[in-house]
Amino acid sequence: MKNIVVIQCVLLVVVTWSLGTAARGDEAIKKQILKLFPQADTNKDGVISDAEEAVVSRQALKRYPQADKDGDGVLSTAEKKALLRAAANRAKRKPAGGKRNPAKKSPSFANVSYGEHDRQVFDIWLADTDEPAPLAIYIHGGGFKAGSKEKLKPNDLTQLLQAGISVAAINYRYVTIAPLPAAHHDARRALQFMRAKASEWNIDQDRVAAFGGSAGAQICMWLAFSDDMANPKSADPIERESSRLTCVATSGGQTSNGAEFWRKTVGPLLGDQKVESLVQPLGQERDPEKIRIATWGAKTLEEANAIAARHSALDIVSADDPPIFMQYGMAPDAKLPSDRKRVRGWLIHHVNLGIALKKKTDALKLESHLMYPGAHPKYKSTVAFFKAKLLPQ
């Protein structure tokens, strides 16, 4: 399933729609969706069905609940038109040239396939260096349901390349396509694939880092804190490559997948609400336990918890792991946002998660740096941290 990809459709499709086009009926809308976003055609029959169009409407309502002016839980024709008008006005204010940021340098190699699925691709920018260059791999966030390699910040890319560090940005399969830890395994495969191309791309295999936010941060920490997953006996040369990292940097990372940890660490910030209220639906499923089981591709809750623990930074970190730089957007004593729509995102990226990992790394005497408003760590940014750890001093 690729339904999550459709979330952006409403915003982007309106660039070429006019209200007159919308008035000509659903068939014109369906054809336009198919033309611009063929991934919305989930059964690959060449047309957008009523059910597939309904997905667009549901996802739009989920992302823009304020569009439901009468609060009846569905978007009426008038509400859809209002949402389209507002989105069209925003699109007009964007620079010409579409969604690609003109400030971002074109990749040396784009959409390189490291697997058979169309989400198993990456872009790579090779630094202009005579000697083999370090590599920093960006892994996007999005709750394992959304996001893309295009989220790599142009400023980070530019600064890293100017420092002589090559940069890659990967896509991976969403949980709606394959349950976790498929996304983690995709990232590992991409990393090993890049190491296998080290000679061709002038990459230093011994200086490889990963960075990312939220879900991407979880994957980065799993790579950093796992033992080497190379299989020297594999017939596949890519699987024989190391998966170990030199260092790792995260933003808003969830450092544990344990339900009890979340109850203790984030639960008190929720007041009367239960921590399970932070769990979002998975498809049509809304029961938190069933969502957890499905998310981790398990048959029982106990099995899901065991798999989740094996992919949890706090559960797997050890003293011989690489240094980590963590960033969070709020101080430990910050107040809950007054805007209720921001509360969930604020909580699931809370600095308490980083503080818990910092406490453990300190006990292990493992180098770690925690950045948040008011803190004064040795490094102030991912780029500064990578320069110190990946480049000769």
CA–CA gap between residue 188 and residue 203 (Å, rounded):
17
CA 85/CA 88 separation, integer angstroms? 5
**H or E stretch at 327:** strand 324-327
pLDDT the model gives residue 266? 93
Other beta carbons within 10 angstroms of residue 103's beta carbon come to 11
In this prediction, residue 11 has a pLDDT band, given cuts at 50, 70 and 90, of very low
- Sorted by sequence, the CB contacts under 8 Å of residue 77 that are 6+ apart come out as none
> Using one digit for the tens of pLDDT, what is the confidence trace for 340-390?
889 999 999 999 999 999 999 999 999 999 999 999 999 999 999 999 999
Is residue 257 helix, strand or coil?
coil
Topology of domain 109-390, CATH:
Rossmann fold (3.40.50)
The domain segmentation of the chain, as residue ranges, is 3-93, 109-390
**Rounded to a whole number, what is the largest CA-CA distance in the chain?**
66
Residue 29: pLDDT band (50, 70, 90) is confident
Kindly report, residue by residue over 171-194, the tens digit of the pLDDT: 999 999 999 999 999 999 999 999
- For residue 8, is pLDDT > 60? no
Taking alpha carbons only, the member of 280, 311, 146 closest to residue 218 is 311
Residue whose tokens read 């090779």: 126
Q: Are 249 and 211 in contact (CB under 8 A)?
A: yes
Query: Are the beta carbons of 34 and 48 closer than 8 angstroms?
Result: yes
pLDDT at 5: 40
- Band (pLDDT 50/70/90 cuts) for residue 23 is very low
Structure-token pair, residue 289: 């336990």
Residues 313, 314, 319, 323, CA torsion sign: positive
Alpha-carbon span 202 to 305, nearest angstrom? 41
Output the average pLDDT for the chain: 87
Please tell me the distance from the alpha carbon of residue 109 to that of residue 341, in angstroms, as a whole number. 39
Query: How many whole angstroms separate alpha carbon 210 and alpha carbon 386?
Result: 10
Least reliable range by pLDDT among 50-54, 195-199, 264-268: 50-54
Phi, psi of 328 (to 5 degrees): -135, 155
Residue 356 has φ and ψ, to the nearest 5°, of -65, -40
Contact 195, 203 (CB under 8 A): yes
Over the stretch 223-251, which tens digit does the pLDDT of each residue have?
999 999 999 999 999 999 999 999 999 99
